[in-house]
C-alpha cells in the first residue's frame, strides 16, 4: 500500500480495541452462544430491592448499559473488521471506489471504510 504506514494504523486500532474491550467487559459480557456478540450484564436485574424506586433505578441502569454496550459493540466490530482488512491487504481502500482513503481520515478514524467523498454513501 503506497502512502500510508499500515503498521502505525494497526497499532492505533489494536490500542483502541483494547480500550473498547475493557469498557465492554465493564458493562457487559460476551454472549455464551456467539463470541462476536455482547450482552448487557444482567447483574442489576438479579437484585430485587424492596423499594420500588430502586427497582426503577436498576432497570434504568440496565437499559443504560444496553445502550452503551450497543455503541461499544459496533465500534468493537468495526475495529475487528479493520484488522481483518489489514490481514487481507485491503486496508485503507475505500469500499465504494477502491481508492486509497485519505491518511488524515484514517488518522481521525483508523477503522474508516470509505474515503471522504463517500462518507455518506
Ligand atoms: Zn471513495
Residue 120 lies in a domain: no
Residue 66 lies in a domain: yes
pLDDT at 59 over 50: yes
Please check whether residue 24 lies inside any domain of the structure: yes
Mean pLDDT of 24-42: 80
What confidence score (pLDDT) does residue 57 get?
84
* Grid coordinates given for 7: 503498521
Assess if residue 102 is contained within a domain.
no
- Cα of 92 to ligand 1 centre, how many Å? 10
Residue with cell 480495541: 17
pLDDT on residue 53:
80
pTM comes to: 0.79
In a domain, 37, yes or no: yes
Question: Is residue 112 a part of any domain in this protein?
Answer: no
pLDDT of residue 1: 45
How many whole angstroms from 8 Cα to the centroid of ligand 1?
22
Distance 77 CA to ligand 1 centre (A): 21
DSSP secondary structure of 29-64: EE-SS-TT-EEE--HHHH---SSHHHHHHHHHHHHH
In this prediction, residue 3 has a pLDDT band, given cuts at 50, 70 and 90, of low
What's the average model confidence in pLDDT over 55-80?
90
Q: How far is the CA of 101 from the centre of ligand 1 (A)?
A: 7
Query: Domain limits at 76?
Result: 6-90
- As for how many domains the chain has, the answer is 1
Ligand 1 centroid – CA 74 distance (Å): 22
CA–centroid distance, residue 84 to ligand 1 (Å): 19
Q: How far is the CA of 96 from the centre of ligand 1 (A)?
A: 5
pLDDT tens-digit profile of 70-95? 999 999 999 999 999 999 999 999 99
Pairwise pLDDT comparison (112 vs 41), residue with the higher score:
112
C-alpha cell at 79: 475495529
Q: In this structure, is residue 64 part of a structural domain?
A: yes
Cα distances (angstroms) measured from residue 36 to each of 44, 76, 81, 85, 112: 23, 9, 11, 17, 20
Q: Would 16 be classed as within a structural domain?
A: yes
Amino acid at each position: 500500500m503506497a502512502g500510508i504506514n499500515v503498521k502505525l494504523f494497526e497499532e492505533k486500532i489494536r490500542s483502541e480495541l483494547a480500550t473498547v474491550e475493557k469498557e465492554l467487559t465493564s458493562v457487559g459480557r460476551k454472549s455464551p452462544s456467539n463470541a462476536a456478540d455482547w450482552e448487557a450484564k444482567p447483574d442489576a436485574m438479579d437484585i430485587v430491592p424492596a423499594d420500588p424506586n430502586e427497582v426503577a433505578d436498576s432497570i434504568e441502569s440496565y437499559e443504560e448499559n444496553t445502550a452503551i454496550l450497543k455503541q461499544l459493540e459496533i465500534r468493537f466490530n468495526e475495529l475487528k473488521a479493520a484488522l481483518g482488512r489489514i490481514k487481507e491487504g485491503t486496508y485503507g481502500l475505500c469500499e465504494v471506489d477502491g481508492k486509497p482513503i485519505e491518511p488524515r481520515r484514517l488518522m481521525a478514524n483508523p477503522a474508516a471504510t470509505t474515503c471522504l467523498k463517500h462518507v455518506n454513501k
